[in-house]
DNA sequence: CGGCATCCAACCGGATACTG
DNA sequence: CAGTATCCGGTTGGATGCCG
């Protein structure tokens, strides 16, 4: 007699599979990189360091929460450095690392694609929606 | 006497701003493109058409819901074509359009970056977390 | 085979208030 | 200035069941 039923074995397999997926490194990282704010921040930092508040102003529509959170994750992943100048008031600069720069070219390209091809996408959408209505 | 109070005017300005952001075309599109599944699907379709079920098998961890939803949005945006062959059982093929191909190179590059630089990112994370613990 | 509809838990992200 | 902390509504996305 087996120590585990078929159902149990299936459960275990499913659990291991799920765990793999959750850990699956590249997919997770890919999700991060695709993040709207991440792309915009990295693109903004392409031509030099920026202060926290400058980033907030440059990237229209970002909340402090998202800005801080995104910057933290970028720092953690070694894509940007955070430099605090203990003046009064405090000054914090963010700058792309070399690793960050290698990625920024790619994300910037995607951002540029979105801007230059938006017309075509928009037309495609109208055509699609029109057919759906008919 | 003004027909609107300052508060009202502020409200209206805020509303207009929000509306702009919601409509802000490129940001919205950028968010879509960055989507985890979108990247994986477009990358998978790079080397030729694929059937629905093949995509589901190739892209580990995607649910039918997400697969269908992503494919619909890609079709709507004119990035992929959907071809139904009314055999029994039905056969549906998805293929990148020319527009889709132009994007696929970029997204594939990002996906590749994630795969090749994951080690560095992972190391950076460990260093960051270690410092935080201290 | 290739979906669509529904339910529901989990997470995301904005608003607000407060701090060194 | 550059955050942190908390609340909470909206969206995401997996699970399930049914259909042509």
What average pLDDT does the segment B34-46 reach? 95
- The number of residues in chain B equals 134
Contact A122/B at CB under 8 A? yes
What average pLDDT does the segment B13-39 reach? 72
Check residues B7 and A61 and name the one with the higher pLDDT.
Answer: A61
CA atoms within 13 A on the CB side of B24: 16
Q: Do B110 and A106 touch (CB under 8 A)?
A: yes
Summarised one tens digit per residue, pLDDT across range B119-134 is: 999 999 999 999 887 7
What is chain A's pLDDT, residue by residue, as a tens digit (134 residues)? 544 444 444 444 444 444 444 457 788 899 999 999 999 999 999 999 999 999 999 998 899 999 999 999 999 999 999 999 999 999 999 999 999 999 999 999 999 999 999 999 999 999 999 987 76
Share of chain B above pLDDT 90, in %: 73
Which residues from 88-127 of A have any strand D atom under 7 Å from their CB? 89-92
* Contact by Cβ (8 Å): A48, B50: no
Q: Give dist(CA A10, CA B3) in Å, integer.
A: 69
Alpha helices in B24-116 (DSSP H): 25-34, 36-44, 52-58, 64-76, 98-116
Contact A39/B at CB under 8 A? yes
Q: Do A60 and B125 touch (CB under 8 A)?
A: no
Chain B residues in contact with A34 by the CB 8 A cut-off are: 33-36, 38-39, 110
Q: What are phi and psi of B109, to 5 degrees?
A: -65, -40
Share of chain B above pLDDT 70, in %: 82
Summarised one tens digit per residue, pLDDT across range B87-103 is: 999 999 999 999 999 99
């Amino acid at each position: 007699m087996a120590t585990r039923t078929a159902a149990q074995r299936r459960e275990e397999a499913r659990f291991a599979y799920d765990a793999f997926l959750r850990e699956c490194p590249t997919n997770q990282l890919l999700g991060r990189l695709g993040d709207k704010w991440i792309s915009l921040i990295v693109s903004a930092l392409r031509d030099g360091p920026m202060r926290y508040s400058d980033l907030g102003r440059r990237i229209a529509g970002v909340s402090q929460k998202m800005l801080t959170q995104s910057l933290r994750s970028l720092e953690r992943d070694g894509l940007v450095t955070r430099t605090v100048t203990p003046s009064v008031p405090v000054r914090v600069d963010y700058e792309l690392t070399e690793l960050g720069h290698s990625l920024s070219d790619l994300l910037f390209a995607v951002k540029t694609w979105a801007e230059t091809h938006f017309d075509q996408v928009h037309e495609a959408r109208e055509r699609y929606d029109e057919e759906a209505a008919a």
